[in-house]
Amino acid sequence: MARLPRLNLPGVPQHLIQRGNNGQVSFFSDKDYAVYLDKLKLYSKKYSVAVHSYVLMTNHVHLLVTPETEQGVSQMMQSLGRCYVRYINQTYERTGTLWEGRYKSTLVDSDNYFLALSRYIELNPVRAEMVAHPAEYPWSSYQCNALGKPIELITPHILYQGLAKTEKTRKKRYAALFDKTIPDYTLEEIRDSINRAWVLGDERFKKKIEKQTGRRVSPLARGGDRRSEDYRAKN
């Protein structure tokens, strides 16, 4: 089944994933992570894309961003991809591609999913059993969002800022969110949305995006689907 075209709307957050080709490693040393983040900062500023959360895993990357323009995210990812692949190939005397095709993206309903998605991203190393707590992993935005490490790359989202009036209390409350487990159904929603290019949001948000784009943004209900209105009405 062909993948749906990406949806890009200025001012609407996006969840992005880029994976290493065939699941191969994309970062080989601490310097590689640092170079990637430096270039991400460069191109996010150049193309007016606010980066709110991120995690760099050994073979893939998660980003939570908000573009100011319709083409900002695509321009940022294309420039970042070319620059980083060139760096890796020159550094390790290799040739060919590094990433697995094009990056994946989905629009995000800020009001209902933004903070959950930020936690999902920063908890990746914990789910992968690389660390016991996100604070132990150096290559994620948790270092800034929860621990207060200065990271110029990060632009706080309005919902993050709304957690408290002071920075100290804000970071403390954000860290406290990690004491709660993300429900399995939310994990499934997040994974389905990014893997299938569906919008991550409630029905109100999805209808709003459909009206703006003229495109279906969620799968059609199937017969017997427990989420379908017809099924719920009959059972």
Q: pLDDT band at 227, cuts 50/70/90?
A: very low
Q: What rounded mean pLDDT belongs to the chain? A: 91
Of 66, 2, 11, the residue nearest 209 (C-alpha): 11
Beta strand 104-107 pairing with 14-19: antiparallel
pLDDT tens-digit map of 141-174: 999 999 999 999 999 999 999 999 999 999 999 9
Q: Provide the token pair at 157.
A: 């989202």
pLDDT of residue 2: 52
CATH superfamily entry for domain 14-234: Transposase IS200-like (3.30.70.1290)
Q: In this predicted model, what pLDDT tens digit does every residue of 177-194 receive, in sequence order?
A: 999 999 999 999 999 999
pLDDT value for 4: 61
> In this structure, are residues 8 and 74 in contact, taking their beta carbons and an 8 Å threshold?
yes
Distance CA 6, CA 18 (A): 14
219 vs 166, which has greater pLDDT?
166
Tell me how far CA of residue 177 lies from CA of 119, 147, 172, in angstroms: 8, 13, 9
Domain layout of the chain by residue ranges: 14-234
pLDDT for 219 equals 78
Contacts of 230 (CB under 8 A, 6+ apart): 221
Which tens digits make up the pLDDT trace of 100-129?
888 999 999 999 999 999 999 999 999 999
C-alpha to C-alpha distance for 217 and 214, rounded to whole angstroms: 9
Q: Tell me how far apart the alpha carbons of residues 69 and 49 are, in angstroms, rounded to a whole number.
A: 8
pLDDT, position 196: 87
pLDDT at 146: 98
Are residues 118 and 55 in contact, defined by beta-carbon separation less than 8 angstroms?
A: no
Q: Look at residue 101 and give its three-state secondary structure.
A: coil
Q: State the pLDDT at residue 102.
A: 87
Question: Residue 54: beta bridge partners?
Answer: 63
Indicate the DSSP class of residue 200. Answer: B
